[in-house]
Amino acid sequence: MASCTTCGSPLRERARFCTRCGAAVAAAPPVPEPVVAAPPEVPELVAAVPEATAPPEPATPVEEPKAHDEVPARIPVTPLSTQPQRSAAALGALAAGIAPLLISVVGNLVASEFARRALGEGAPAGGAWGPVLVAIAAVFVLTAGALTVCGILGVRALRETASGAVRGRPLAIAGLAAGAVNLVLWVAGLIVTVGSLGAVIA
Q: What are the b/e assignments for 60-78, b being 16+ CB within 10 Å?
A: eeeeeeeeeeeeeeeeeee
pLDDT in tens for each of the 202 residues of the chain?
677 878 877 877 777 777 788 777 766 555 566 666 666 665 555 554 555 555 566 666 666 655 555 555 566 655 555 677 888 888 999 899 899 889 888 888 887 887 777 777 655 555 667 787 888 888 889 999 999 999 999 999 899 888 888 888 898 899 999 999 988 988 888 888 777 766 665 5
CA dihedral for 166, 168, 170, 173, sign (positive or negative):
negative
